[in-house]
């Protein structure tokens, strides 16, 4: 059975006192068979891990593919692993757009993440102009092929994929459940085509485009949607708890 996951991406939000209070509240969320993951700002990783007394996992929003070296301002997967981080976001649309992360850079990050026995949450998705041109399926296939499909079947089974339609991030727009299911089914189909059905059926695919407490239950009811990568709604305990309970 595929793992059900609700992950909160806090992005560059919250001052420390508020972040600590929110995390303490999130630690009380317990939903059978649902893994809750929080991706806080980088300075909060160690203190939140140290105060974590729950089944919630704390993940990193980013990492650098080299283990060590003269890379000022960067943090490596090896360093993150050394203090207990198990999940890392790779390829979020904001990293691609604002920081110029290419498919090759993301491929290297995926390899480094897996080499350090961590779980990559690999993000993919199309901008509005691609959706309007009805080219979203090919666009996402290209992202997966370039950054993930060099992996062996055993390695890709250790990955989580998050589909984030870029046109629905922070805009208030959300893909309909039919749109989300169509893309998630297509992604699973790409994996089955490249590997096999068993591999495809073992990989959790999350929806990440303005998922909130109002639409989560409908989205999570889709056969190929295994949870959500939550942005703004993860900054409010009541909203995030309701999303986690939406299964």
Buried b (16+ CB within 10 A) or exposed e, 109-146: bbbbbbebebbbbbbbbbbeebbeeeebbeebbebbee
Nearest to 109 by CA among 84, 82, 83, 74: 74
Distance CA 138, CA 94 (A): 20
What's the token pair of residue 157? 């089974």
What does the radius of gyration of the chain's CA atoms come to, in whole angstroms?
17
| Non-local CB neighbours of 217 within 8 Å, separated by 6+ positions | 246
Distance CA 76, CA 68 (A): 7
Phi, psi dihedral angles at 228 (to 5 degrees): -140, 150
**Chain position carrying tokens 């068993």:** 198
Distance CA 212, CA 224 (A): 18
Residues designated as active site:
92, 164
What's the token pair of residue 19? 């972040």
């Amino acid at each position: 059975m595929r793992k059900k996951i609700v992950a909160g991406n806090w992005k560059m939000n919250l001052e420390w006192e508020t972040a600590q209070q929110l995390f303490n509240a999130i630690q009380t969320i317990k939903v059978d068979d649902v893994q809750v993951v929080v991706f806080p700002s980088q300075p909060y990783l160690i203190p939140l891990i140290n105060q974590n007394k729950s089944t919630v996992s704390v993940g990193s929003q980013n990492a650098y593919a080299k283990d060590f070296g003269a890379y000022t301002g960067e943090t490596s997967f090896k360093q993150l692993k050394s203090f207990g981080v198990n999940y890392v976001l790779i390829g979020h649309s904001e990293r691609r757009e604002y920081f110029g992360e290419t498919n090759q850079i993301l491929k290297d990050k995926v390899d480094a993440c897996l080499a350090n026995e961590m779980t990559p949450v690999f993000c993919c998705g199309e901008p509005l102009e691609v959706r309007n041109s009805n080219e979203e399926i090919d666009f996402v296939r290209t992202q997966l092929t370039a950054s993930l499909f060099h992996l062996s079947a055993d390695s890709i089974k250790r990955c989580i994929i998050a589909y984030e339609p870029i046109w629905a991030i922070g805009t208030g727009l959300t893909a309909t459940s039919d749109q989300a299911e169509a893309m998630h089914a297509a992604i699973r189909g790409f994996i089955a085509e490249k590997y096999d059905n068993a591999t495809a059926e073992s990989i959790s695919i999350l929806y990440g485009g303005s998922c909130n407490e109002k639409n989560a239950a409908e989205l999570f009811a889709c056969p190929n949607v295994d949870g959500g990568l939550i942005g703004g709604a993860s900054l409010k305990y009541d909203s995030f708890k309701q999303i986690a309970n939406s299964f």
